[in-house]
Amino acid sequence: MKNLEQQICEMIVERLNLEDVNVEEIDYEAPLFSAYDEQGIGLGLDSVDSLELVVAIKEQFSITITDEDVSVFKNVTTLANFIRDKQS
Amino acid sequence: MEICFDYLFEPRFSDFDSYAIAHHSKYFCWFEEARFYFLRNILKMSNEDISDIRCPLINLSCEFKKLITYGEAYIISSQIIFDMEIAKIKFVYQIYNNDKTVRFANGVTEHVFLSSEGKLLFKMPNKLILRLNDLVK
- b/e sequence A46-55, b meaning 16+ C-beta within 10 Å: eeebbbbbbb
Average pLDDT, chain B: 93
Contacts of A48 in chain B (CB under 8 A): 58, 88, 112, 120
CA–CA separation, A47 and B105 (whole Å): 30
pLDDT digits (tens, 9 = 90+) for A5-36: 999 999 999 999 988 888 888 889 988 886 44
Closest CA to A34 of A74, A77, A79: A74
Contacts of A21 (CB under 8 A, 6+ apart): A13, A43
Cα-only R_g, chain B? 16
Contacts of A70 in chain B (CB under 8 A): 119-120, 122
Q: How much is the pLDDT for A22?
A: 87
CB contact under 8 A, A48 and B119: no
Contact (Cβ atoms closer than 8 angstroms) between residue B76 and residue B93: yes
pLDDT digits (tens, 9 = 90+) for B93-113: 999 999 999 999 999 999 999
- DSSP codes, B14-55: GGB-TTS-B-HHHHHHHHHHHHHHIIIIIS---HHHHHH-B-
For the residues B19-47, what does the mean pLDDT come to? 94
CA–CA separation, B53 and B25 (whole Å): 24
Residues in A lying within 8 Å of B, measured between beta carbons: 47-48, 50-52, 54-55, 58, 65-67, 69-70
CB contact under 8 A, A52 and B121: no
pLDDT band at B114 (very low <50, low <70, confident <90, very high): very high
The verdict on ipTM greater than 0.90 is: no
CB contact under 8 A, A55 and B86: yes
Give yes or no for residue B84 having a pLDDT over 90.
Answer: no
Q: pTM for this structure?
A: 0.85
CA distance A6 to chain B (A): 24
Q: How much is the pLDDT for A36?
A: 47
pLDDT digits (tens, 9 = 90+) for A51-80: 999 999 999 999 999 988 989 999 999 999
Count of CB atoms within 10 A of residue B4's CB? 9
Specify the DSSP class assigned to residue B121.
P
Phi and psi (nearest 5°) for A85? Answer: -60, -45
